[in-house]
């Protein structure tokens, strides 16, 4: 992995992490095109740069993160299902992550769902985070578990989950962003722990690459979140649905054509 790889992957992470399009699918295509060879550091890098992305959420919604203790309770309740499922099925999840075909199929199916989600859930009652109940937060947390299937997209699963509980598009998207903070922070910490547990030690070059990747992911995610919220309120999910179908179809065709798609 070189500096060009780092810049490209960090930009992809910043753009796709909070959009309902699956960062995993885009990482597969980008890594295959650039010929990045997967190793323990590369796998760690693609998770660790999420720290930069989640920091953008804290910065953009700074005041919201320092309001009431109830805000944190709701995030904790929503975070519990993913934490439990992640610990119980980590090996099976890792096995799924090795399948580019799984990613392509999930992207494609998820795209079809996004084409209709605006019509299915078009009568929201909840327009602000403070109106979300603990039970609703828990249900959204279970939807987040679907994102453990590669290609689903964590943001897509949680936003659709929120809308199914009568949240407005904006409220569902913002709660999805907030929930990303504990979820992605925990995932990064676990990946770092596993990295050190296996006896790895960061080199100076690897630390530099991680720092650059996080800074770029942070800046790009700031722009992506603001743009996404505005677009979502005006246009809904259909464009993202068609885009997912296109990307998923490309991955499936490449895979069935015998191309070696590198899953990182």
Mean pLDDT, consecutive 10-residue stretches, the chain (264 aa), reads: 89 88 79 76 83 88 79 91 81 64 89 91 80 92 88 89 90 90 86 80 86 93 87 85 91 81 60
Question: What's the pLDDT at 150?
Answer: 80
pLDDT at position 81 is: 93
Q: pTM to 2 decimals?
A: 0.85
Q: Which residues does 201 contact at the CB level (< 8 Å), separation at least 6?
A: none
Residue 200: exposed, middle, or buried by beta-carbon count in 10 A (0-12, 13-18, 19+)?
middle
Count Cβ atoms within 10 A of the Cβ of residue 258 and give its class: 0-12 exposed, 13-18 middle, 19 or more buried: exposed
Which pLDDT score, from 0 to 100, does residue 232 have?
82
Give the domain ranges of the chain: 3-256
Tokens of residue 256, six digits: 């069935």
d(CA 139, CA 120): 18
Measured CA to CA, the distance from residue 10 to residue 84 in angstroms comes to 28
């Amino acid at each position: 992995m070189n500096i060009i790889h780092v810049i490209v992957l960090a930009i992809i992470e910043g753009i796709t992490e909070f959009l309902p399009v699956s960062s995993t699918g885009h990482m597969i295509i980008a890594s295959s095109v650039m010929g990045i060879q997967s190793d323990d550091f590369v796998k760690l890098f693609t998770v660790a740069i999420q720290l930069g992305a989640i920091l953008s959420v804290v910065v953009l919604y700074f005041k919201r993160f320092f309001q009431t203790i109830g805000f944190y309770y709701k995030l904790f309740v929503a975070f519990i299902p993913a934490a439990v499922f992640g610990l119980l099925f980590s090996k099976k999840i890792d096995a799924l992550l090795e399948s580019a075909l799984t990613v392509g199929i999930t992207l494609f199916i998820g795209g079809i769902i996004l084409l209709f989600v605006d019509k299915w859930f078009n009568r929201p009652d909840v327009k602000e985070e403070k109106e979300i109940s603990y039970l609703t937060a828990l249900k959204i947390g279970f939807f987040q578990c679907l994102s453990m299937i590669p290609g689903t997209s964590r943001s897509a699963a949680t936003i659709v989950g929120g809308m199914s509980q009568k949240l407005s598009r904006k409220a569902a998207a913002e709660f999805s962003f907030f929930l990303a903070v504990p979820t992605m922070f925990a995932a990064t910490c676990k990946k770092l722990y596993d990295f050190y547990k296996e006896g790895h030690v960061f080199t100076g070059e690897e630390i530099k690459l991680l720092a650059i990747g996080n800074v770029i992911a942070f800046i790009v995610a700031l722009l992506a979140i603001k743009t996404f919220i505005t677009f979502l309120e005006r246009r809904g999910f259909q464009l993202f649905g068609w885009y997912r179908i296109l990307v998923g179809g490309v991955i499936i065709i490449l895979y069935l054509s015998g191309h070696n798609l590198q899953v990182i």
